[in-house]
Structure 1
């Protein structure tokens, strides 16, 4: 006879000893029979502050239906979500990355305290998806991620537009008095035409795609439209799948092994995804104890030998709905098949070899957003690791056709991105210079804010291709232009950006993957001897914790009790 399925909460909720626990749930209408089933947490990050999460409340109902249908009992609780648009370029942007770790702590605490057999986490946007993955890795329960999907593409005056187009107008052309105010008004009403994650390959969609690539969602869950019947069916199927996962005893760590994370990294390169995707992959690897398998050196290796085959904005000319219609992540992974681990397993119990079959069928159509390995968009990955005397461990840059590959110019340093924006708008930054925004790293800011507002200002002012930006902070997946970010080690711990002086010549080469200052070793040593750590910036609450306990960018910038030594290899 087959072995009878068992699950965690049988120990706590069955029999006389579980009476007090059942009583609490009976107050909310649950029955004794309900409490005999596997108890499945639904983590709902719905809210009215972010369009990517606005559809999740209704989507949650379909997950509940699937759980009931499969023999489980759904128990829902809410968790945080946010959209960083409101704080672009502001000091409050420092809270953006910490929400990733806050969400992971939130889910960890509730699931551990309340005792569940498995969980479905509904997420959509930038830091929320990786926060869910960190929580799943930490808890190691049966878990499925259900992305909220992408929004529709807006149209203005016959042209497809997205929020990033409006950002560049607002940050760049508007302060100069060169913006068409009527055009801004028109775009405001159309760049976000529905709920869902913005329809380009920004960080939100990068992370939804990577959650699927690592095997933690059902196939096609990353790219289906947020507002669609397909999305609702995915919700119900996810509810059914999580109960099967509990019965089989499969957990998040049984899915997210070294092979799956390598596949995840390959897909990130093939998509030309956001540089934030690398930060989050490194954080997830550290959470899983896989730092020896997935590290910045492997990121560099995969960048060099993984072609970029996705023609989705801002890398290409198509959008997320196009990618979905062309095969989605199963299509991308089908094309990448020679480079992937086909034995890697997903949450539905099947391995990648079976997952990609649906994608292979769709690739037989006319190619649009998914190109072939033989004729890729780029012969290398869409993200490059740059090293040199300004980035002795690492830094990251999107390595695309839509920006200049080289730049050499004098440094213009700023300790806050607000200073850099003001200098740009007042004309104090000259063509040819390199804007350096330092003390924007995990500990220095603290919180490692997104400095996209600086690049958006550069592009919006028509200076793209005429200067470059270097920072130990982050860049949004929306960003265009030559920008080098996540410089490690950061300035706050004595990294070379802290020693840089205005007018030092900086050389950036994407093809050579180098970031260097024309400063002698002897001069560096003198400056290092005279450098003193700056006074900590105003850092209340979680920012104060980041200032002391955040790891470096090449480690994933997690908030941990005991940060791993960043000096290894430096």
Structure 2
């Protein structure tokens, strides 16, 4: 009869020994042996491979293949990988439907599910694979929460589509492009153009057919690529690895390297709490601001701070963005896609530029064991590249993320600006209590120049889930009204949104926020320079309306959406649903 194997404490397997070492853990070992594991496998560090693979959409479609390479890297470095999967919701697919209410909530579920599986199985380290809007912050929130050695590997950007011949929609200057690089946002804007008769249904179909040529996250500096940039700048992703496009041959090589890196992290006891510091979070915000990144970065960075127990406010984000120039010419506010950033020199080059201007903290540590400044020193710039600009030639002298406050948003609202948007707008409120009603009004051309489209009861609690309004904003832009119509919502926006579109209005309508007190025709004024957002009525009138206001019935009374609505915090607190028992 064979002796019970001894699983020695090697420091690298200290956590997993609790699960598999000793006579009293024989049943656990038996279960592992049922799936082909040996005593030797169980004696090695057990590494979680937390995957977000799905067939529902292109962003994460290739992650099963990448996970195989990650596991190969773990094995080569002396670990035993164990893969599990969690959920993923495609924003692009669910946009404009009730399904979008699940998107932000999925961030919470992803973090919770990874936490549960990892805590249950005493993994010694973890690598999370993510590639779309909510899987990136969800996995990072889990890593922070667990605080065991680990990292996040981004699946990479999709390649841009190529529209053959003359593109049917003209540029702002009236010119048209030949063989234009396009992405999913062009499809959303083409929907609005087709509704207004600017293009035909056949032309819309032609754009649809070529916009997304394969797997990977949406091509511009939309939410996924913004969060990928943030992950590298914070140090929770290895510098240079996230840049590699999804279909590039090099992606499999970096996946193996990332897998092996987890063993080094365990050896050095390099945990997220040593990486995600106040300075690292400031680097995250600055990188989003410098690239004209998604407003979702505000929500997610606030959520990271909450998980890490680090004080960070929406006002801090405004301060950091205001002092940081936009130096990356990226869609949707600029010309280039994430592929172009990779070819220009990558996020290392961006970090190098920003450090030259003292816009980043170079001393923060990264998962590679090097500081951010050391990583940036290895940047190689492609001669003639036009994506990442010199500091003396910024697209805009201050960052793209702007926080507004006033009697409509006492706790703040967020807008993303490139600099060519109107800096002042005053117009009548057009009130809609759900996104679909606003979309119908835009499609039927009921929205006119000067209007302020207000979409409310779409906040974290009201939606619930704080839907993105890309369908509406893109339709407005597609009808040629992007410079003349303002949109205000307690919901949020896709990273692909452009124009004077103000979201994250806090407090939201469902909890009695002033946006819920607006009436049709009220004059709304926004002044970007003054950072103000107000309705032009007296305080007395606002209080009179507040006295008679009643919250509508919740849209959901059971299930996960109802649970989130009960727990959700406001947008200026990251719209998180976690519960902190101390110092809450």
TM-score of the pair, normalised by structure 1 = 0.95
Q: Separation in 1 of the partners of 2:507 and 2:309?
A: 21
Task: Tell me the residue number matched to 1:211.
Answer: 231
- For residue 90 of structure 2, the aligned residue among 73, 78, 83 is 83
Name the SS for the 1:8 alignment partner: coil
| Equivalence for 1:380 | 398
Report the Cα distance in structure 1 between the residues aligned to 2:154 and 2:514, rounded to whole angstroms. 39
Q: How far 1:541 moved relative to its partner?
A: 1.4
Q: CA deviation at 1:449?
A: 0.8
Is the contact made by 2:330 and 2:338 (CA closer than 8 Å) also made in structure 1?
Answer: yes
Distance in structure 2 (CA, Å) of the matches to 1:352 and 1:109: 31
- Is contact 1:549–1:563 with CA below 8 Å preserved after alignment? no
Is 1:501 aligned to 2:506, yes or no?
no
Deviation at 1:198, TM superposition (A): 1.4
* Conserved? CA contact 2:489–2:503, under 8 Å: yes
User: What is the Cα deviation at residue 176 of structure 1?
Assistant: 3.5
Q: Secondary structure at the match of 1:52?
A: coil
Contact residue 285 and residue 321 of structure 2 kept, 8 A? no
CA offset at residue 270 of structure 1? 0.8
Q: Take 2:406 and 2:86, find their aligned partners in 1: how far apart are those partners? A: 41
Q: Counterparts of 1:315 and 1:87 in 2: how far apart (Å)? A: 23
Corresponding position of 1:439: 457
RMSD: 1.7
Aligned mates of 1:485, 1:121 — CA distance in 2: 30
Deviations 1:54-113, CA, capped at 9 Å, x for gaps = 111111111111101111000111111121222221122111110100111111111111
Cα displacement string for residues 101-134 of structure 1 (whole angstroms, at most 9, x for unaligned residues): 0111111111111221111111000011000011
- Match for residue 343 of structure 2? 325
- In structure 2, do the counterparts of structure 1 residues 465 and 564 end up closer, same or farther at CA, with 3 Å as the change threshold? farther
Cα distance between partner residues in 2 of 1:351 and 1:176: 52
Q: Is the 8 A contact 1:118 1:246 kept in 2?
A: yes
- The aligned counterpart of 2:180 is 159
CA distance in 2: counterparts of 1:550 and 1:540, whole angstroms: 15
Q: Measure, in 2, the Cα distance between the counterparts of 1:417 and 1:372.
A: 40
Alignment of 1:249 onto 2:269: yes
Give yes or no for contact 1:444–1:492 (8 Å, CA) kept in 2. Answer: yes
Give me the whole-angstrom Cα distance separating, in 1, the residues matched to 2:387 and 2:195.
35
Deviation track 1:313-350 (CA, whole Å, cap 9, x = no partner) reads: 11211111111122211111111111222111111111
What corresponds to 1:137 in structure 2?
144
CA drift of 1:178 comes to 3.9
CA contact (8 A) 2:417 2:498 kept: no
Match of 1:195 in 2: 215
Q: Does 1:362 align with 2:381?
A: yes
Q: Does 1:15 align with 2:22?
A: yes
Matched, 1:72 2:79: yes
Displacement of 1:184 after TM fit?
2.1
- Give 1:96-111 correspondences, 5 Å limit: 96-111=103-118
Give the equivalent residue in structure 2 for 1:398: 416
**Structure 1 residues 296 and 457: alpha-carbon distance in aligned structure 2, compared to 1, 3 A threshold:** same
2:248 is equivalent to residue 228 of structure 1: yes
Structure 1 residues without counterparts, runs of 5 or longer: none
Contact 2:196 2:445 (C-alpha < 8 Å) held by counterparts: no
The 1-side partners of 2:391 and 2:197 are apart by: 45
| Alignment partner, residue 564 of structure 2 | 546
CA deviation vs aligned residue, 1:501-534 (integer Å, no higher than 9, x gap): 1111111122222111111112112112222222
CA distance in 2, matches of 1:565, 1:489: 21
- Deviation at 1:23? 1.3
Offset of 1:565 from its aligned partner? 11
Task: Provide Cα deviations, 1:476-508, integer angstroms capped at 9, x if missing partner.
Answer: 011122100001111111111011111111111
- Alpha-carbon separation, structure 1, partners of 2:576 and 2:414: 17
* Secondary structure class of the residue paired with 1:368: coil
Measured against aligned partners, the alpha-carbon deviations of 1:369-420 in whole angstroms (never above 9, x if no partner) come to 1112222111000110111111111100011134322211011111101111
> Is 1:56 equivalent to 2:63 in the alignment?
yes
Q: For 1:249, what is the secondary structure of its paired residue?
A: coil
Asked whether the 8 Å contact 1:312–1:369 carries over to 2, the reply is yes
Q: 1:444-486, CA deviations, whole angstroms, 9 ceiling, x for partnerless residues?
A: 1111111121111111122211211000000101112210000
Instruction: Give the number of aligned pairs.
Output: 559
- Matches of 1:12 and 1:497, distance apart in 2: 52
Indicate whether 1:522 and 2:540 are aligned: yes
